[in-house]
């Protein structure tokens, strides 16, 4: 008889937004589950669960799984570790999980900011959503006494005790905020925690420098960086200059035609 594993490590990847990264080391007592609608994603280490895009597109479907899967699709597990599609597991997680899993809800501290209001400003500046939506959310949070510098997490990795009723309630409220304000989960969680008197619990390790996880760029960002580096090297060394300029013109024409097609 096979004993049921009490911990699930899961991720969600829709369309071609990310590539599935096999862990370099598997942790005993854990199942590995990937939710995706991409038939090209295969793995011998992850259990692939085919999932249709619901909600209002792939991004919101991804966030629903991120926030609510431990209470629906993965409710048979006591503990869950969500990892973003950009994350690769690079070592055994046994000690990491045993150290933190009874803390209820644990996140990594945001590497650059510790205030939701500064996060609103950063999101608007980097065009990560509709500016008026962020302004409305920011105004409503201020009206409801959301303090400055309350803390801010980077939600690429989330560890939860799925049996903790308070954590479950926090996740349901988090999802409500995400639906209300257009899908940006990072700006919603601090408010939910504050309103429910829950103080952030952070991993002691830093997100970008730790022995357990490695963060990769999203697939489209990775391709863009490769092209930028290749272009810079070639132009600096006067290699393929005419071909690069010709290719860039074709790319711009293709993007322009695609934008026009999407308009109709």
87-112 per-position pLDDT tens digit: 999 999 999 999 999 999 999 999 99
Within 10 angstroms of residue 196's Cβ, the number of other Cβ atoms is: 12
Q: Note the pLDDT tens digit of each residue in 7-40.
A: 999 999 998 778 899 999 999 999 999 999 999 9
CA angle 120, 126, 131 (to 5 degrees): 55
In this prediction, residue 216 has a pLDDT band, given cuts at 50, 70 and 90, of confident
Would you say domain 7-113+150-215 falls under CATH 3.30.390.50? no
Cβ within 8 Å of residue 240, ≥6 positions away: 234
Which of 156, 4, 179, 191 lies closest to 82, judged by CA?
156
CA angle 161, 52, 219 (to 5 degrees): 80
| Contact yes or no for 205/107 (Cβ under 8 A) | no
Measured in residues, the chain has a length of 264
3-state secondary structure of 215: strand
Q: What pLDDT score was predicted for residue 256?
A: 66
In this prediction, residue 238 has a pLDDT band, given cuts at 50, 70 and 90, of low
Tell me which H or E stretch contains 8: strand 7-13
Separation of alpha carbons 240 and 228, rounded Å: 14
Domain boundaries, the chain: 7-113+150-215, 219-263
The token duo for 239 is 């290699």
């Amino acid at each position: 008889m096979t004993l049921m594993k009490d911990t699930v490590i899961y991720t969600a990847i829709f369309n071609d937004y990310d590539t599935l990264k096999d862990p370099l080391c598997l942790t005993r007592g854990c199942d590995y589950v990937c939710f995706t609608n991409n038939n090209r994603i295969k793995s011998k280490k992850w259990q692939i669960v085919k999932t249709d895009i619901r909600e209002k597109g792939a991004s919101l479907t991804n966030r629903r799984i991120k926030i609510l899967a431990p209470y629906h699709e993965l409710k048979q597990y006591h503990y869950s570790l969500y990892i973003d599609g950009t994350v690769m597991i690079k070592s055994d997680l046994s000690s990491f999980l045993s150290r933190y899993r009874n803390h209820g809800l644990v996140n990594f501290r945001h590497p650059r900011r510790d205030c939701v209001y500064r996060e609103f400003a950063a999101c608007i500046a980097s065009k990560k959503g509709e500016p008026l939506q962020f302004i409305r959310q920011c105004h409503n949070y201020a009206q409801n006494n959301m303090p400055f510098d309350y803390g801010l997490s980077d939600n690429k990795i989330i560890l939860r005790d799925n049996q903790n009723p308070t954590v479950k309630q926090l996740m349901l409220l988090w999802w409500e905020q995400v639906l209300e304000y257009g899908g940006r989960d990072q700006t919603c969680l601090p408010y939910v925690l504050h309103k429910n008197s829950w103080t952030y619990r952070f991993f002691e390790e830093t997100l970008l420098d730790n022995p357990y996880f490695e963060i990769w760029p999203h697939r489209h960002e990775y391709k863009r960086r490769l092209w930028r580096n290749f272009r810079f090297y070639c132009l600096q060394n006067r290699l393929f200059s005419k071909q690069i300029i010709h290719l860039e013109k074709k790319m711009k024409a293709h993007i322009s035609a695609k934008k026009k097609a999407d308009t109709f």
